Chain A
Amino acid sequence: MIDIALPKGRLGEKVYEILAQAGYPCPAIQEENRKLVFENPQAGVRYFWVKPSDVAIYVERAAADIGIAGKDILLEYQPEVYELADLGIGKCRMCVAGRKGARDCRDQTLRVATKFPKIAKSYYSAQSRDIDIIKLHGSIELAPLLGLSDVIVDIVETGKTLLENDLEVKETIVPISARLIANKVSYKFKHEEITRLCQQVDQYCRERGKTL
């Protein structure tokens, strides 16, 4: 039995679709109810939904054998896990964004609003830049509009929110996509099962890639 942590939301549903097609279906998961854990003994899987930013924690502490997490979460929390595959979905990029046309003042401490303080810190410290991090939990785009920060470091998918708020991407820090992660000890004790799952997912993704 493999325990799989799925990130709640659109990405998680897409991921479940891939896993189901790759031979790990669990019909109960699509029923409308408030259950949190779904099991399919025939396929040897148990799924559960968790908050996307918690997936890495469930996997690191072996409450889940494997899980699906965005590269953004992995970069921010640096969990001790194996990163076995890039699923190539949930693609977006980690960017620096600010008000359109705003000048980048190097003579002042840059105020950066973000949900990802670690990523922001390491990006700017690589440029030897002193920054003031403002940790927010949502609506990051609001910060530069109200003068709370000079720029934001955030995920940009289509750039539509930025556009509508008169903001623009200044720099791209790193491309992001969904990754299949595994607990290091589970990987060893359930090596055959986890490797088989990875291969089947990989094969499915490749075939689908060809038809797209």
Chain B
Amino acid sequence: MKEIHSEQVVRQLRELYRRYGYTQYRMSKFEPYDLYVHNKSFLISEDILTFTDADGRLMALKPDVTLSIVKNAKEGSGLQKVYYSENVYRTSPMTRGFREIMQTGLECVGDIDLVAMGEVLLLAARSLDMICEDYLLDVSHMGFVAGLLDSAGAGEDSRGELLKLMGEKNVSGLGTLCRELGLDPEASEDLCQLTGLYGAPEELLPALEDMVRGERMAQALAELTAVCTLTPQAHLQLDFSMVNNMDYYNGLIFQGYLPGLPSGVLSGGRYDNLLRQMGRGDGAIGFAIYMNLLERLEGAREDYDADVLLLYDETTPASAVLGEAERCRRAGESVRVERWVPEGLTFRTIRKVG
């Protein structure tokens, strides 16, 4: 694997998005708390870091960029294509306390069609490819999953639990719960099968045809099939156990993985329902990359703080010290100049001037 430097990756990603005509979205570190509290369940972690502004308003350190982009995108003015590279503040379930997380991503807000969906998924694939050629991009369609849950007769109150078991790929637990809830046996069987599936679209798509019940699922499958053909096939996988909050996500959803990282590095999807909840009639699709995870992929740490430590004393003229250091640097070495050996630092070689 090639060496990775997250700063360099961010630069390359920006350049990629710019070439697709996306404009940069910049936002301040904090926003009024209202925005986030109204859409709390859209956020990955519900904890929000708040403080009181000078005029007494409750402010929040932004936990998310998407909400702010959607709020500021005007309806009916064509597509808004923006990218961002911002720090967000979230708690992680493992550590509790708040962490600053660097996120790079893009959003496309407006009247979303197949072209827009294909482009966003392609950009997700190209972003991952830029970081590591062995990436995987998993795709699912919430419309298909929701359609199947509908036809199984799953009520609103049981959905959360069903989706949780799907997310765990816990097929046996899912089967048991379906029986307990008295869901349609055939649809339950399909639901279990769908949960266990993992593989390339060309292998799995034909098998999905048999699960289609009703217009909603047929439409979802047609959309999924169409989008899959627009993206490089080699890294694409279908995984319907990937489930996002149905209150917000409604169509295509996807997640990107890199070897050597314990969790997904890219996450995105179609979230028309969020816009509907904000009282809008159009749609949106986008994704985010968790840049802080890339730190783990960065090449081995350097063994030395500098190649050369150059020591001098009062008798050495300053011009000789600086001159010699400059000569070493021209030869490609990093040089630190000191009078005494500094504590706690390591050098490949230590020598005296002259």
A binding-site residues for B, Cβ under 8 Å: 60-62, 78, 80-86, 183-185, 187-189, 191
Contact = CB atoms under 8 A, between A and B. Distances in A.
Contacts of A85: 172
B237 A188 contact: yes
| Residue of B138, B169, B259, B264 with most partner-chain A CB within 10 A | B169
27 contacts: A62-B263, A78-B93, A80-B263, A82-B168, A82-B169, A82-B170, A84-B169, A84-B170, A85-B172, A86-B172, A86-B173, A184-B263, A185-B257, A185-B261, A185-B262, A185-B263, A185-B264, A187-B169, A188-B136, A188-B138, A188-B237, A188-B239, A189-B136, A189-B257, A189-B259, A191-B198, A191-B199
Given A82-B169, A191-B198, A184 B264 contact: yes
A85 B168 CA distance: 11
Contacts, number: 44
A11 B251 CA distance: 43
Nearest to B138: A188
A62 B262 contact: yes
Interface string B186-208: 00000000000011000000000
B262 A188 contact: no
Interface residues of B, number: 20
B137 to A, nearest CB: 10
Contacts of A60: 94, 262
Nearest to A82: B169
A83 B138 contact: no
A interface majority secondary structure: mixed
Nearest to B259: A189
A188 B136 CA distance: 8
Interface in B153-174: 168-170, 172-173
Contacts of A82: 168-170, 241
A9 B199 CA distance: 36
Interface string B263-285: 11000000000000000000000
Contact of B169 (A62, A83, A86, A189): A83
